[in-house]
Amino acid sequence: MDLVIRDARVIDGTGGAAYRADVGVDGGRIAAVVPEGGPRPSGRRTVDADGLALSPGFIDMHAHSDLALLRDPDHSAKAAQGVTLEVIGQDGLSYAPVNDRTLAQIRTAITGWNGDGSDIDFTWRTVGEYLDRLDHGFDGRGIAVNAAYLIPQGTVRMLALGWEDRDATPAEIARMKELVAEGLEQGAVGLSSGLTYTPGMYATDSELTELCRVVAAYDGYYCPHHRSYGAGALRAYEEMVALTREAGCALHLAHATMNFGVNKGRAPELLALLDSALADGADITLDTYPYLPGCTTLAAMLPSWAAEGGPDATLARLRDDATAERIRHVVEVEGADGCHGVPIEWDRIEISGVNDPSLGGHVGKTVAASARERGEDPWTTARRLLLDDRLGPTILQHVGHEENVQAIMKHPVHTGGSDGILHGAKPHPRAYGTFPQYLGRYVRELAVLSLEECVAHLTGRPAARLRLPDRGLIREGYRADLVLFDPDTVAAGSTFENPRTLPTGIPHVLIDGRFVIEDGHRTDTLAGRAIRRVAPGQN
């Protein structure tokens, strides 16, 4: 065989008890799993795993590496965590399908997530072309880790009717359904939405239901960032459950949190809602990140009407004093839909990144703190930042609750997702630390989950949601996407002060049997490819 991993503590991704075994790899697949006492396989290379756990590669169910995968061949932010597959195209906004007009708009709208893309050659327009570009990667050698793609509903709506806040016509709905079907045919695994982001949030439930019917026909899943994580959170969860059940579509709830003061201690209410739907036959999963603050763009905090017409229209409204004052009142007094119906607390909004280096003095400070330094009110500071950086600032929003985080991660349909934004001078540490944070803090230190159950949350369970027939478990014939880690030392190195620090305790990571991390160091291997939707009955 190409490789034999000896005396590993195998944690196979099912949630079952760990066991000692030799695992052989050949031709990019797991060729043998021989429990202790069986005939020992031989290999051209041997790795002694005594004391280390061997698990399937971790699957990041909510990633924002849409351009990072094409920008950074190293991509240690994810590879060093043991991530072997990322699901991108999240929150209803990404770079395919597009035309020249909408590509320019998207690049501005989510510059805070991925940069403006000036360093990227946007050679694609369709979903299939984007997946082909991922396959090609760097000089035809591929990308750092595998990637699956969700069709972004907001991007699709841009193509069909622009940034208008109105109901779609029957013809426009038909066009959106065509675009979703084309993307699924070309390999996307499902559909995402960002229902607190424009223009996706302008869609009615009936419009979303029609799109989900298409997703269901292709055995994909719907992944909504729903309409509120704050004042209307439970109603928003109920809405997503109801419309996907009507459409007959599988549902995966993105970064399923219960945030803001109004939701402190209310995770059991969400879990009761899900348990009732699951007991009635609904197909539901969710993902979370193991941290308290959220992360998004400063522009996302604005009311939806301020973003109608696209980024240029938003900037024009911010320049106009009278309109800007209306925006301020909604944001600070009423609670904008962009801020989940909760009046904004500027001392909880920390600037984590800007595009313009001259604005770097704001990074790492709350808007309130920056305003105090300048002797002005927080809205004036926020408004100036949005205008000067052309909607570019990213933020950390310190609104989470530990008891909610722990309750949700213990649920049987939970999976892990970083929601990691890699752009910016001071990103959220979850981008570099989510998976070792689960294993180190929430398994070893807090015992919220057993090691076997946690690994299942990060491997077998997400692979099942993605309908992957040969990934997510340690089984003979499965792809050799594997992680060797030390359960006693694995830990996130990233912190809020130093968010780009790599984790410890993960010496080896393999994709398709090739080392991408070896002895704790990134190799030059580019084993990642686009992972396309698998039709029922196919392998």
Cα separation of 149 and 127, whole Å?
8
Cα separation of 525 and 523, whole Å?
5
Q: What's the pLDDT tens digit per position in 492-520?
A: 999 999 999 999 999 999 999 999 999 99
Is the pLDDT score of 286 beyond 90? yes
* SS3 assignment, position 363: coil
Closest CA to 428 of 475, 520, 364, 472: 364
Cα separation of 189 and 175, whole Å?
19
Looking at residue 336, its pLDDT comes to 93
78 pLDDT band (50/70/90 cuts)? Answer: very high
Mean pLDDT, residues 392-409: 95
Neighbours of 296 (CB within 10 A): 24
Burial class (CB in 10 A: 0-12, 13-18, 19+), 138: middle
Report CA dihedral (434, 440, 446, 450) to the nearest 10 degrees.
90
Judge whether 257 and 225 are in contact, CB under 8 Å.
no
Is the pLDDT score of 51 beyond 90? no
Looking at residue 63, its pLDDT comes to 98
Instruction: Output the pTM of the full model.
Output: 0.94
Which DSSP letter does residue 502 get?
P
Query: What sign does the dihedral 8-9-13-16 (CA atoms) show?
Result: positive
Judge whether 263 and 296 are in contact, CB under 8 Å.
no
Task: Give the residue range(s) of CATH 3.20.20.140 domains in the chain.
Answer: 58-292+400-467
Looking at residue 266, its pLDDT comes to 96
Mean pLDDT, residues 368-374: 96
Looking at residue 9, its pLDDT comes to 98
Cα separation of 93 and 192, whole Å?
8
Cα separation of 136 and 529, whole Å?
8
Q: What's the pLDDT tens digit per position in 427-468?
A: 999 999 999 999 999 999 999 999 999 999 999 999 999 999
Looking at residue 537, its pLDDT comes to 52
Is the pLDDT score of 525 beyond 80? yes
Q: What's the pLDDT tens digit per position in 105-154?
A: 999 999 999 999 999 999 999 999 999 999 999 999 999 999 999 999 99
Mean pLDDT in the chain? 96
Mean pLDDT, residues 383-391: 96
Is the pLDDT score of 538 beyond 60? no
Neighbours of 519 (CB within 10 A): 9
HEC sequence for 202-256 = HCCHHHHHHHHHHHHHCCCEEEEECCCCCCCHHHHHHHHHHHHHHHCCEEEECCC
User: Which region, left, alpha or beta, applies to residue 265 given φ > 0 means left and ψ of -120 to 50 means alpha?
Assistant: left
Superfamily covering domain 58-292+400-467: Metal-dependent hydrolases (3.20.20.140)
Looking at residue 50, its pLDDT comes to 87
String of DSSP letters for 9-64: EE--SSSPPPEEEEEEEETTEEEEEEETTSPPP--SSEEE-TT-EEEEPEEESSB-
